[in-house]
Amino acid sequence: MYWTIASKERLFTGVGEGEVTLADAMALLEALAGAKALSYRKLFDGRAVRSTMTGEELLAVCAKIRAYHQEGPVGALALVGTAEQTVKFARLLGALAADDRPIKLFNSLRRARAWLDLQRK
């Protein structure tokens, strides 16, 4: 996985490729927190990702994200995935849903970015 954090735009952009492990996901979350970018809008393209995480590991990632919600505002999230991934992500998003944080799934990077641009605060 690789990512950029644009502080001027208050935007995180990430791309995943190949196998993604629990350690990869936690490293990404820690980078966001360390950069004080949790409140930034986030765009993640996971179309080329194959997750190797177990159900328990996915729950650990969700728990970590939910814990960040207790620390302060968390920015909007646009996830881009394949049709097959969308089915899996939908369950994950249910666990991450919060009243004050827009989250949406897309199959197009262009549509995801357009939606995320509307989420500026």
Number of domains in the chain: 1
Please state the pTM of the whole predicted model.
0.87
Summarised one tens digit per residue, pLDDT across range 53-95 is: 888 888 898 889 888 888 889 999 999 999 888 777 676 766 6
Q: What is the CATH number of the domain that holds 52?
A: 3.30.750
- 31 CA to centre of own chain: 13
- As a whole number of angstroms, the distance between CA 108 and CA 44 comes to 11
Q: What angle do CA 36, 18, 105 make, to 5 degrees?
A: 60
pLDDT of residue 98: 62
Domain that holds residue 12: 2-117
Summarised one tens digit per residue, pLDDT across range 1-31 is: 899 999 999 999 999 999 999 999 999 999 9
Q: Is the pLDDT of residue 120 over 90?
A: no
Tell me the two tokens of residue 78.
């646009």
Q: How many residues does the chain have?
A: 121
